[in-house]
Structure 1
Amino acid sequence: MLHLIDHNSQSEGAILRAMFEARKRVFVDLLRWNVPVVGGSWEMDRFDNEDARYLVLSDERGHHLASARLLRTDRPHILDTLFSGLCEGPVPSDAATLEITRFCIDRNLASAERRRARNQLVTALVEHALAHGIARFTAVAEMRWARQILAFGWSCVPLGPPVRHESGLLGALLIEIDADTPFRLLKAGIYSAPARGGRRLSA
């Protein structure tokens, strides 16, 4: 099931808690990021605020499968606040651009389940953008993950050369979204209709 959650959501507390717990297991326990942990269980930082929006995939029991945080780029966000040096030019910043952060796939999933959840979440991000007038995404990614993002079939380009950081070699990406993007994902084998909403495409 796909959940779209923002600060106005009143009934998604359990889904959010499961997401923050999953983020802690992935980014802190597995990847060893030096990021805040709340109450020993939740990975949360200063960008988990009233401007944040979350896309969360869960199973029928509410267990976290995958999630991503979307940040407005006309407000402080990760690329402009922490990693602006990754961009050769100005950091993209306008109402039609969102930043994808904390792309998280539950570490307890088997390989095939992880791939399915990844594809569903990428598809949900594109469908969300098309439904809400979002023309592009930005993202900061470790280069092994960045190479996967570049291969998803959508229009995606680096914003500058990769830079060595304490967490590895990082790059910034710009992903353009338009009406053809779902079909590009389909051609690349990525498109997977969300459990709630979205279109079902055929080649």
Structure 2
Amino acid sequence: MIVSVHSHQHNQYSLVLSQMFMARKRIFWDMLGWDVTVEGEYERDQYDEMGPVYLIWCDRALTRHYGSMRLMPTTGPTLLYDVFRHTFPDAANLSAPGIWEGTRMCIDEASLAADYPEIAPGHAFSLLLVALCEFGLENGIHTMISNYEPQIRRLYTRAGATVHELGRADGFGRHPVCCGAFEVSANVLSSMRARLDLSAPLYEPLRRENTVSSALSGQAA
């Protein structure tokens, strides 16, 4: 299932969140060499202490993490303004209730391979983007902002997402960092679902009992 985990639910999802922080460390510190905060086997920073919403793909028993993203409203502190301000034009105002920031998107390839061997990591990335769009529509969000390295854009394109690059800057790591605005709309969601041949929602507000497994029926790597 893919759900949104809010601050008051962090204890309930503690095992899955622990796996998420470990996956983030493996990806962003070990593999990509980003300058991130590492505590033992975890990658977590001050924004994880500010009550973010996590979009989590996990099993129904809450014991296995497959993928995730951290979501924060731009009306409060964000990496976008605190760290990556030079990646978008000075004239751009990206702080508004309908604009949220998405960071630390990751896929746990080992867990995915164990339970969903038919789904390739790139396809899993696309599925998480669809769920993100569904979450946005459920919560009055019209734009998601994300900072990413240029080579990642092809994954967004493959998912059918509509992304407008607002700018980019050097000095953050091995590659430039781009700032992209992702349109959240019914039209974009319809396009993404068609691109990925999805017939049912992936994101589950907690009141629903649908499963990601049923939505993924027939999906191949």
1:101 to 91, 100, 103: 103
Deviates more, 1:97-106 or 1:118-127: 118-127
Give the residue type in structure 2 aligned to 1:121. Answer: L
Q: Which residue of 2 aligns with 1:164?
A: 170
1:37 matches 2:43: no
The RMSD of aligned alpha carbons is: 2.3
> Using the alignment, how far apart are the partners of 1:190 and 1:27 within structure 2?
30
Instruction: Give CA deviations for 1:123-177 in whole Å, capped at 9, x if unaligned.
Output: 11011001111111000000001232244323320112x3223231211001111
Aligned residue in 2 for 1:140: 147
The answer to whether the 8 A contact 2:126-2:155 is kept is no
- Structure 1 equivalent of residue 136 of structure 2: 129
For the residues of structure 2 that align with 1:190 and 1:30, how far apart are their CA atoms?
A: 31
Count of aligned pairs:
198
TM-score norm. by structure 2 comes to 0.80
Q: Report the CA distance between 1:190 and its aligned residue.
A: 7.1
Give 5+ residue unaligned stretches, structure 2.
Answer: 216-221
**Aligned amino acid, residue 193 of structure 1:** P
Distance 2:142 2:202 in 1: 20
Aligned to 1:65: 66
SS at match of 1:122: helix
CA contact (8 A) 1:84 1:91 kept: no
Structure 1 residues 24 and 139: CA distance shift in structure 2, 3 A: same
Per-residue deviation, 1:51: 3.4
Q: Report matched runs for 1:1-203 at 5 Å.
A: 1-9=1-9, 10-38=11-39, 40-60=40-60, 62-88=63-89, 89-108=91-110, 109-110=112-113, 112-160=119-167, 162-165=168-171, 166-189=173-196, 191=198, 193-194=201-202, 196=204
Which runs of at least 4 in structure 1 moved beyond 6 Å after TM superposition? none
1:190 and 1:26 mapped to 2: Cα distance?
Answer: 28
